Chains A and B, each alone.
Chain A
Amino acid sequence: MSMQIKVSVSNDVLLDELGNVLSDRRGLYARLAGDAEAFMRRVGPGIAAQNHRTADTLGARRTGHLENAYAAIEGDSDNDEARLWVPRASRLRAAFGAYRLTPVNGSRYLTLPVHPDAYGRRARELRDLFFMRVGPAGVPVLARRAEGRQQEGLKRRTYQRRKTRARYTIAEILYVLATSVDIPAQPGLIPFDELTEAIGISAEAYLDEAVERSRPT
């Protein structure tokens, strides 16, 4: 993002002050970086509050991962520019475009939580998980025994010619395992248009304050 600043003055005293401000722009860039960071931290919680689809769908408690991502946005600057740093390893990456998520650290699968107890927790944190395949496609999952839950049904025993009644232990699926996941783009996570205008407003405020300092009291 680049910005062109045009200044029109008709007062030599004012021009001196603005000249000082624009010749050494460290202060200006620091102000822009700070205001951009503050803007994102103000709007972030509001955007995050609308984007907990998985937790809401599962009925799980929100982890606040998106709020944490917004809180981790930082601005910095130097003599030449102002910068805004957005954590890449977060959901905010989708603001810059779609991407494919794949396992890391030698893992074979991604664990996608499909149970409220699994949301926000790593598979290794849960005990008594076992691997199994379900459905006609044999989808790999991690499941556990549902304590105290049994279901009556018909079961054919291998040595009998007809099914007899038996009680089954229900298995709860906690994670669906996947080798990769495509995350769609979500540009609204970072309001680029509003952020650009906010930075422009910040620059105007900075120069107006220079004008204010140049006026005799």
Chain B
Amino acid sequence: MSTAAEIARIRDLLPTTLGTAEIRSQIAADIRARSVFSARVGKLVFLDAIKMVIDELAAGRTDFATARWYLAESLREMGYTPEGGFPDAPPGEVPPAIAATLQDLSSRRRLNLIVETQLALVRGRGQQLRGTHRQRLFEFPAWELTRAIDRRVPRNWGGRHASAATPKSRRVDPRPRWIIAGGQLHPSGRLVALKGDPIWGELGASGNFDDALDVDYPPFCFNSGMRWIEVGRADALELGIRGPNGESIDEWLSQDHPTLVDTQSGIPAPQASVKGIDPELRKVFEKSSGIRVVETTATTKGNEAEVRATLARRKAARAKRMAELEAQAIQKGGPGA
């Protein structure tokens, strides 16, 4: 069981400059509404349980272990098994998972990932809001991306994390994520950019990285272990940090900078993956929650081409089989048939 200090630390991560409990709950509501799942999770009831858990965590009314326990109990009550999935899911809709692996929804690893990701998003968004307060912007105009938690197999963020331990699959593209996102590597090796710089959105864009969470704040992607550190004005000037088009710090901060967010609170538009959900149930869910149900980016990217290719293969197979059937029919219709 986590201590009160951990719970307090969770509370401290929320933007105190915003003040009221109502704003904190609004942020938490927006964050939990943006539930990101893999394609295997398609149970609205479980989605609702996650929402409730995050609500409790963000409000400081529960701890991490209790949240994980609650989700595990919810899955048990729904009859979920790694081998069979949810009992009332269409056959084959949820592929069987090996128990205790990341694909197993009820596994400790998977539940940890769900809760940790949601909590990390709350922290990141809170830090972003706190950091973009007007007074704060002047004193600390930039963010530096650093590693907060070591990872057994770290992603290649700035070019210095790739090592012999890096899986071969990740060696295919040795370029640092910072470069892929359009950033310039500072000679010091530090990953620094002004607050609101588009690179922060690119780092968290699923169009660039399959594991990204479509946010412009840490953790940017699942289990990244990355965080922001605010960079003071003097430090930013010494490093020569400028805007994406060469703007000075003051020029940049005087402009409005659209980010990935499009809601009043600045939280990304709530999206939910409900792949495999009964359409009628989906409509009820949309109406009651206000969540806009869309295709997950993980499933729509490249999906159009895949569907067309599948349809073309099926069409060709049908034509071939039809020709075989006609030949068989003629052969069987001979004398004495």
A-B contact count (CB 8 A): 80
- Count B-side interface residues using an 8 Å CB cutoff: 29
For the complex formed, measure the closest distance between the CB of B41 and the CB atoms of chain A, giving whole angstroms.
Answer: 13
Contact string, A196-217, partner B, CB cutoff 8 A, digits 1/0?
Answer: 0110010011001001100110
> CB within 8 A of A46: which of B93, B311, B322, B330?
B330
Q: Which residues of B contact A46 (CB under 8 A)?
A: 326, 329-330, 333
B187 at the interface (CB under 8 A from A): no
Query: Nearest chain-A residue to B308 (Cβ)?
Result: A215
B314 at the interface (CB under 8 A from A): yes
The CA of A195 and the CA of B326, in the complex, are separated in Å by 9
The CA of A8 and the CA of B332, in the complex, are separated in Å by 35
B276 at the interface (CB under 8 A from A): yes
> CB within 8 A of B326: which of A8, A39, A189?
A39
B325 at the interface (CB under 8 A from A): yes
Q: Please determine whether B304 and A50 come into contact, CB atoms closer than 8 angstroms.
A: no
Q: Please determine whether A191 and B90 come into contact, CB atoms closer than 8 angstroms.
A: no
Task: Name the residue among A10, A208, A215 with the largest chain B CB count within 10 angstroms.
Answer: A10
B189 at the interface (CB under 8 A from A): no
Q: Which residues of B contact A198 (CB under 8 A)?
A: 322, 325
Q: Please determine whether A195 and B93 come into contact, CB atoms closer than 8 angstroms.
A: no
A147 at the interface (CB under 8 A from B): no
Q: Please determine whether B314 and A204 come into contact, CB atoms closer than 8 angstroms.
A: yes
The CA of A39 and the CA of B319, in the complex, are separated in Å by 12
B335 at the interface (CB under 8 A from A): yes
Q: Which of B278-312 contact A (CB under 8 A)?
A: 279, 282, 293, 295, 304, 307-308, 311
Q: Please determine whether B275 and A212 come into contact, CB atoms closer than 8 angstroms.
A: no
> CB within 8 A of A194: which of B275, B276, B318, B326?
B326
B328 at the interface (CB under 8 A from A): yes
> CB within 8 A of A42: which of B282, B304, B326?
B326
B170 at the interface (CB under 8 A from A): no
For the complex formed, measure the closest distance between the CB of A91 and the CB atoms of chain B, giving whole angstroms.
Answer: 12
The CA of A205 and the CA of B90, in the complex, are separated in Å by 23
Tell me whether A50 and B335 are in contact in the complex, defined as CB-CB below 8 angstroms, given that A191-B328, A194-B329, A215-B308 are known contacts: yes
The CA of A22 and the CA of B33, in the complex, are separated in Å by 34
Tell me whether A215 and B322 are in contact in the complex, defined as CB-CB below 8 angstroms, given that A46-B330, A50-B333, A208-B311 are known contacts: no
A53 at the interface (CB under 8 A from B): yes
> CB within 8 A of A12: which of B282, B307, B322?
B282
Query: Nearest chain-A residue to B293 (Cβ)?
Result: A12
Q: Which residues of A contact B275 (CB under 8 A)?
A: 10-11
Q: Which of A163-217 contact B (CB under 8 A)?
A: 186-189, 191, 194-195, 197-198, 201, 204-205, 208, 211-212, 215-216
The CA of A94 and the CA of B279, in the complex, are separated in Å by 50
Q: Please determine whether B332 and A188 come into contact, CB atoms closer than 8 angstroms.
A: yes
Q: Please determine whether B93 and A201 come into contact, CB atoms closer than 8 angstroms.
A: no
The CA of A43 and the CA of B330, in the complex, are separated in Å by 6
Q: Which residues of B contact A10 (CB under 8 A)?
A: 93, 275-276
Q: Which residues of A contact B90 (CB under 8 A)?
A: 8
Query: Nearest chain-A residue to B307 (Cβ)?
Result: A215
Q: Which residues of A contact B307 (CB under 8 A)?
A: 211, 215
Q: Please determine whether A51 and B335 come into contact, CB atoms closer than 8 angstroms.
A: yes
Q: Which residues of A contact B293 (CB under 8 A)?
A: 12
A15 at the interface (CB under 8 A from B): yes
The CA of A131 and the CA of B65, in the complex, are separated in Å by 107
Q: Please determine whether A43 and B333 come into contact, CB atoms closer than 8 angstroms.
A: yes
A72 at the interface (CB under 8 A from B): no
Q: List 20 A-B contacts (CB under 8 A).
A: A8-B90, A12-B279, A12-B293, A42-B326, A43-B329, A47-B334, A50-B330, A50-B334, A188-B332, A188-B333, A189-B333, A191-B325, A194-B325, A197-B321, A198-B322, A198-B325, A201-B322, A205-B318, A208-B311, A211-B311
In addition to A47-B330, A208-B315, A212-B308, 17 A-B residue pairs with Cβ atoms within 8 Å of each other are A10-B276, A12-B279, A15-B279, A39-B325, A46-B330, A186-B337, A188-B337, A189-B333, A191-B325, A191-B329, A191-B333, A194-B326, A194-B328, A201-B321, A204-B314, A212-B311, A216-B304
**A positions within 8 Å CB-CB of B:** 8, 10-12, 15, 39, 42-43, 46-47, 50-51, 53, 186-189, 191, 194-195, 197-198, 201, 204-205, 208, 211-212, 215-216
